[in-house]
Amino acid sequence: MAAQASPAPELALPDVAAIRAAAARIAAHVVRTPMVRSDALDRLAGATLSWKCENLQPVGAFKARGACNAVFSLDEASAARGVATHSSGNHGAALAYAAQRRGIPAWVVMPENAPRAKQENVRRYGATIRFCAPNVPARETVCAAVLAETGARLIHPFDDVDVIAGQGTATLELLADDPTLEAVVAPCGGGGLLSGSAIAAHGVRATIRVYGTEPAEAGDAAAGFRAGHMMPAPTTHTIADGLRSGTSPRTFSALRAHVTDFATCSEAAIVRAMRLMWEHLRIVAEPSSAVPLACLLEGTLDLRGARAAVIVTGGNVDLDRLPWQA
């Protein structure tokens, strides 16, 4: 990867030292999440799996890590003007949380149709929501207006070196908890978690396998990985609302360099996997969190015989409308 020798700013990535620094910076603001196990899920996968419970983070998602690292990396003058983002939910809530922890204002641009639970997660931490029509041009227009009006710093959900470094801290923890792990598995939306995880894993041990997983309905990263260049997703019609984003050139370059392979899964498998996780892990996992298990169930991801950690990315779900109760 020539980009690693002398990266253009839009391709800059954190190294493992930056991820270690992020871990120290955010330690007082995030949870060192537990790993849980299930013999029943191990039997289904034919592997020895540990589930890293990022659903137990503040705001219910790994996004607290990246947002806290970005917010606490700002100098005093920038921080005072506040932060802003556009987000389908978990990053918005995470940025609101991080800003509240630092005592600075936050603005979150969200589509009008964002789930109620995710709106409440943002408001709970004192951020201001600005709604937009549910399409990218509307989102960018409203976001630009907020930045112009407030002087806030945009904290992108994934295309940001400090956010990626923060997301990578989960993998430092899981490898410290179990140094015998042979593989790490994460879902891939914009690729912030997966690229941070992969850089962290290979910074600790070069032989660890790192797998990205996606809904087939939003399989841009998997398709791009096979093609050798970024690809647009043909659709983003997935229940896994955290994974509808495509990657950026920055995250895609990290994935090409560090990910062992990608797998994709059907929507039905996501619902089945989500229910199995609730039943056997006894945690509330959102659809995006179920994508790795869905790939294992469908056999597109084969970890047979391996010791692997799976990152359970979040637990924000509308409890009145569970997808297996259609």
Give the CB-side neighbour count of residue 69, counting CA atoms within 13 A.
Answer: 28
| Residue of 275, 302, 306, 323 interacting with a copy of itself (CB under 8 A) | 275
| Residue of 10, 112, 140, 279 interacting with a copy of itself (CB under 8 A) | 279
- State yes or no: residue 31 binds a copy of itself (CB under 8 A): yes
- State yes or no: residue 124 binds a copy of itself (CB under 8 A): yes
Cβ proximity to a copy of itself: between 33 and 88 the closer is 33
Name the one range near a copy of itself by CB under 8 A: 31-39, 128-136, 143-151, 291-299: 31-39
- State yes or no: residue 315 binds a copy of itself (CB under 8 A): yes
- State yes or no: residue 278 binds a copy of itself (CB under 8 A): yes
Question: Minimum distance between the CB of residue 282 and a copy of itself, rounded to whole angstroms?
Answer: 3
Question: Minimum distance between the CB of residue 278 and a copy of itself, rounded to whole angstroms?
Answer: 5
Write out the H or E segment, with its range, that includes residue 83: strand 83-86
Q: Which residues ranging from 47 to 86 are in contact with a copy of itself (CB under 8 A)?
A: 53, 55-56, 58, 60
Q: Give the Cα-Cα-Cα angle 41, 197, 257 (nearest 5 degrees).
A: 115
Question: Minimum distance between the CB of residue 55 and a copy of itself, rounded to whole angstroms?
Answer: 5
Q: Which residues ranging from 230 to 249 are in contact with a copy of itself (CB under 8 A)?
A: none
Contacts of 220 (CB under 8 A, 6+ apart): 214, 230, 231, 232, 233, 246, 247
* Strand, helix or coil for residue 4: helix
| Residue of 282, 304, 305, 326 interacting with a copy of itself (CB under 8 A) | 282
Name the one range near a copy of itself by CB under 8 A: 78-86, 107-115, 182-190, 277-285: 277-285
Angle between helices 267-281 and 291-298 (to 10 degrees): 110
| Residue of 30, 284, 296, 301 interacting with a copy of itself (CB under 8 A) | 284
Name the one range near a copy of itself by CB under 8 A: 32-40, 136-144, 150-158, 297-305: 32-40
| Sheet with strand 48-53: strands edge to edge | 35-36, 48-53, 307-312, 183-187, 209-215, 261-265
Cβ proximity to a copy of itself: between 124 and 237 the closer is 124
* Strand, helix or coil for residue 100: helix
Written as six digits, the tokens of 213 are 């997983």
Question: How far are the Cα atoms of 111, 125, 176, 244, 324 from residue 179, in angstroms, in the given order?
Answer: 41, 36, 6, 32, 36
What is the full DSSP assignment across 6-58? S--GGG----HHHHHHHHHHHTTTS----EE--HHHHHHHTSEEEEEEGGGSG
Cβ proximity to a copy of itself: between 206 and 326 the closer is 326
| Residue of 16, 44, 117, 138 interacting with a copy of itself (CB under 8 A) | 117
Cβ proximity to a copy of itself: between 172 and 198 the closer is 172
Question: Minimum distance between the CB of residue 228 and a copy of itself, rounded to whole angstroms?
Answer: 38
Taking the CB of residue 64, how many other CB atoms lie within 10 A of it?
29
Name the one range near a copy of itself by CB under 8 A: 26-34, 69-77, 211-219, 235-243: 26-34
Any idea of the CA torsion for 121, 126, 127, 130, to the nearest 10 degrees?
80
Name the maximum alpha-carbon separation found in the chain. 55
Cβ proximity to a copy of itself: between 187 and 246 the closer is 187
What residue type is 37 in one-letter code?
R
Task: List phi, psi (to 5°) of 282.
Answer: 60, 40
Residues in contact with a copy of itself by CB under 8 A are 31, 33-34, 36-37, 39-40, 53, 55-56, 58, 60, 117, 124, 275, 278-279, 281-284, 315-316, 319-320, 322, 324-325
